[in-house]
């Protein structure tokens, strides 16, 4: 076995063991975050200033704090109000001066901070015993000292790397707020976008990340199987969604990776259908696109099953075309292959070719017009994870393959979405244990009914 494959096999074996033993929320070892910071520092010619979330980003009562993903990727620190400062590996073309090259700025332990802990639970503050060792950084310091440090660095460096606001910034303006703060501290500096440099690293998963993605995937597959046990005409979409959430949250998933999609009949054709308030009808297909996050890492899985337990001939025909498109794309996965872009050999073109060459709609048109979204996306801390556009596949990348055909006038939508790990030689389908073919699905549903199903 190649060393990389060995590492993954080992990691997955350990995962199987620790999934029953370990506490729910896990971090990778400090050395992993330190290595990521070193790689980023080696790629820049000026300081990186990366602001974690403050906890004020969302005021809804159901909000649970979850860290800014780039900050989490580099620190594993899931608490409010921290800032990472990295000094570049290169220093005026030579070796950098002695002294710490990375700093984690933490909130100060003020009276207000201590009062907040009575509401929100214990938090790490600058100066707390063992904080630096616990976080595995060279140095921790109180947040109010950051400004003077940036002012001082602005005398030696022109370029600073941070999160820049852009069209990706929706909702609370985290990047815009902190860029304003930085510009006040370093008015003459050039501020450069750090996201692509971190995306480059995030695209290839560590063994620890693979463990967590696998854990999320295993629990979400359990949730899908449980849904199939209860699906029958008369059951409500929200009952199915609730049962699925129960299964993965009981297993330690801390939240949905995205709002569960459980769509019956026409709703199966609505890509991001999340109202889940309809009653399943006899003869419908039920599309379930449901997945959780485990210790910050997402999974994303779709299956489509018949409400009655039996596909109609038309449903089976469309389903088999989608499945053939998925299988053809999965068969083409290997290092060097491309998801999308120019050329005939991309995974997207392969899937589109299958869908366009088989079957017709009621007017005799080919079915490509009903495949209206991308073939898939990288996945990790985010369900639609950080991606360098156009980069070829490499071992350790994880992404979805999710072709679909949605024909609203037939109230018929089918998507099959699998989680794919790129290996040295091809693909490992992380969702392989979840039945995919119509025969397998019918068999599972028939056996579940025989056993009494679920309510
Ligand atoms: N569940 C969102 C997606 O499939 O991309
Ligand atoms: Mn997806
Ligand atoms: Mn999905």
Token pair in block for residue 127: 């100066």
pLDDT band at 23 (very low <50, low <70, confident <90, very high): low
Nearest atom of ligand 1 to the alpha carbon of 261: 1
The predicted model gives 82-103 an average pLDDT of 84
- Distance between CA atoms of 226 and 240, rounded to whole angstroms? 9
- Residues 384-388 have a mean pLDDT of 96
Which among 154, 137, 178 has a CA at the least distance from the CA of 126? Answer: 137
Per-residue pLDDT at 15 exceeds 80? no
Closest among 204, 152, 174 to 387, alpha carbons compared? 204
pLDDT-based confidence at residue 17 (cuts at 50, 70, 90): very low
Q: Which residues surround ligand 2, an ion (CB under 5 A)?
A: 300, 400
Angle at 114 between CA 112 and CA 120, to 5 degrees: 100
Q: Is the dihedral of CA 154, 156, 158, 160 positive or negative?
A: negative
H helix and E strand count, the chain: 13, 17
Contact 402, 415 (CB under 8 A): yes
Establish how many alpha carbons lie within 13 A of residue 406's alpha carbon, considering only the half-sphere containing its beta carbon: 21
Distance in Å, CA 113 to ligand 2 centroid = 39
- How far apart are the C-alpha atoms of 442 and 318, rounded to whole Å? 16
Contact between residue 314 and residue 397 where contact means Cβ atoms under 8 Å apart:
no
Contact between residue 368 and residue 177 where contact means Cβ atoms under 8 Å apart: no
Tell me whether residue 143 is exposed, middle or buried, using C-beta atoms within 10 angstroms of its C-beta: 0 to 12, 13 to 18, 19 or more.
Answer: middle
pTM: 0.94
Answer whether residue 396 shows pLDDT above 60: yes
pLDDT in tens, 397-431: 999 999 999 999 999 999 999 999 999 999 999 99
Reduce the DSSP state of residue 395 to 3 states and report it: coil
Residues with CB under 6 A from ligand 1: 258, 289, 300, 383, 402, 417
* Residues in CB range of 108: below 8 A, 6 or more apart: 125, 126, 127, 142, 143, 144
Least confident of 9-18, 59-68, 85-94, 242-251: 9-18
Ligand nearest to the CA of 257: 1
- 304 CA to centre of ligand 3 in angstroms: 12
Do the beta carbons of residue 398 and residue 378 sit within 8 Å?
yes
* pLDDT value of residue 18: 47
Q: Please, is 268 exposed, middle or buried when counting C-beta atoms within 10 Å of its C-beta (0-12, 13-18, 19+)?
A: buried
Ligand nearest to the CA of 258: 1
Sort strands 190-193 and 159-162 into parallel, antiparallel or unpaired: parallel
- pLDDT, residue 93, reads 62
The ligand 1 atom at the shortest distance from the C-alpha of residue 373 is: 5
Would the pLDDT of 5 be above 80? Answer: no
Q: What is the best residue among 268, 291, 302, 431 to mutate for testing ligand 1's pocket, by most ligand atoms within 8 Å of CB?
A: 302
Asked if the model's pLDDT at residue 106 lies above 50, the reply is: yes
Please name which of 299, 57, 338 lies closest in space to residue 177, comparing C-alpha atoms.
57
Model pLDDT for residues 356-382, shown as the tens digit of each residue: 999 999 999 999 999 999 999 999 999
Pocket test for ligand 1, best of 217, 258, 303 (most atoms within 8 A of CB): 258
Ligand 3 centroid from CA 177, angstroms: 32
Question: In residues, how long is the chain?
Answer: 455
* 14: pLDDT strictly greater than 50: no
CA angle 413/238/307 to nearest 5° reads 45
Task: Please give the distance, rounded to the nearest whole angstrom, from the Cα atom of residue 257 to the centre of ligand 3.
Answer: 9
Residues 232 and 309 sit within 8 Å (Cβ to Cβ):
yes
Average pLDDT of the residues of the chain:
93
DSSP-derived letter for residue 433 is T
Atom of ligand 1 nearest to the CA of 377: 5
C-alpha 406 – ligand 1 centre gap (Å) = 15
Q: Is 224 exposed, middle or buried (0-12, 13-18, 19+ CB in 10 A)?
A: buried
Q: Which of 261, 273, 300 to mutate to test the pocket of ligand 1 (most atoms within 8 A of CB)?
A: 300
- How far does residue 139's CA lie from ligand 3's centre (Å)? 40
Pocket test for ligand 1, best of 380, 402, 406, 420 (most atoms within 8 A of CB): 402
Distance from residue 281's CA to the centre of ligand 2 (Å): 26
* H or E stretch covering 182: helix 174-185
Q: Is 126 in contact with 142 (CB distance < 8 Å)?
A: yes
Nearest ligand 1 atom to the CA of 291 is: 1
Closest protein CA for atom 4 of ligand 1: 300
Residue 290 CA, ligand 1 centroid: distance in Å: 8
Nearest to 81 by CA among 144, 143, 149: 143
Distances (CA, A) of 17 to 126, 251, 376: 36, 14, 30
Of all protein residues, the one whose alpha carbon is nearest to atom 3 of ligand 1 is 300
């Amino acid at each position: 076995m190649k060393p990389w494959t060995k590492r993954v096999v080992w990691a997955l074996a350990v995962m199987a063991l620790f999934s029953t033993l370990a506490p729910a929320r896990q971090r990778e070892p400090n050395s992993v975050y330190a290595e990521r910071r070193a790689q980023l520092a080696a790629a820049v010619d000026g300081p990186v200033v990366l602001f974690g979330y403050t906890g004020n980003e969302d005021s809804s009562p159901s909000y649970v704090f979850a860290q800014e993903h780039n900050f989490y990727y580099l620190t594993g620190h899931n608490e409010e109000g921290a800032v990472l400062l990295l000094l570049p590996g290169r220093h005026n073309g030579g070796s950098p001066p002695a002294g710490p090259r990375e700093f984690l700025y933490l909130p100060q332990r003020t009276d207000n901070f201590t009062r907040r802990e009575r509401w929100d639970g214990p938090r790490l503050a600058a100066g707390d015993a063992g904080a630096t060792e616990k976080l595995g950084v060279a140095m921790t310091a109180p947040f109010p000292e950051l400004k003077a440090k940036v002012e001082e660095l602005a005398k030696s460096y022109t370029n600073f790397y941070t999160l820049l606001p852009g069209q990706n910034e929706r909702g609370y303006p985290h990047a815009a707020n902190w860029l304003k703060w930085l510009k006040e501290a370093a008015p003459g500096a050039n501020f450069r976008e750090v996201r692509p440099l971190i995306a480059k690293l995030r695209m290839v998963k560590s063994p620890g990340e693979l463990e967590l993605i696998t854990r999320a995937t295993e629990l979400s597959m359990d949730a899908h199987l449980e849904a199939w046990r209860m699906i029958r005409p008369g059951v409500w979409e929200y009952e199915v969604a609730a049962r699925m959430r129960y299964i993965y949250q009981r297993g330690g998933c801390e939240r949905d990776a995205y709002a569960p999609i459980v769509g019956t009949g026409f709703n199966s054709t609505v890509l991001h259908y999340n109202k889940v308030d309809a009653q399943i009808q006899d003869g419908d297909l039920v599309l379930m696109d449901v997945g959780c996050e485990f210790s910050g890492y997402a999974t994303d899985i779709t299956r489509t099953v018949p409400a009655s337990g039996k596909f109609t001939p038309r449903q089976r025909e469309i389903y088999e075309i989608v499945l053939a498109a998925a299988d053809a794309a999965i068969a083409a996965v290997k290092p060097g292959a491309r998801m999308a872009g120019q050329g005939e050999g991309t995974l997207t073109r392969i899937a589109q070719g299958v869908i366009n060459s088989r079957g017709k709609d009621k007017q005799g048109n080919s079915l490509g017009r009903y495949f209206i979204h991308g073939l898939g996306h990288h996945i990790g801390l985010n369900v639609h994870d950080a991606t360098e556009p156009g980069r070829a596949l490499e071992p350790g990348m994880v992404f979805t393959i999710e072709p679909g055909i949605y024909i609203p006038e037939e109230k018929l939508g089918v998507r099959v979405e699998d989680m794919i790990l790129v290996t040295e030689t091809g693909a490992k389908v992380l969702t392989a244990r979840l039945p995919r073919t119509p025969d397998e699905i019918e068999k599972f549903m028939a056996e579940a009914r025989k056993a009494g199903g679920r309510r």
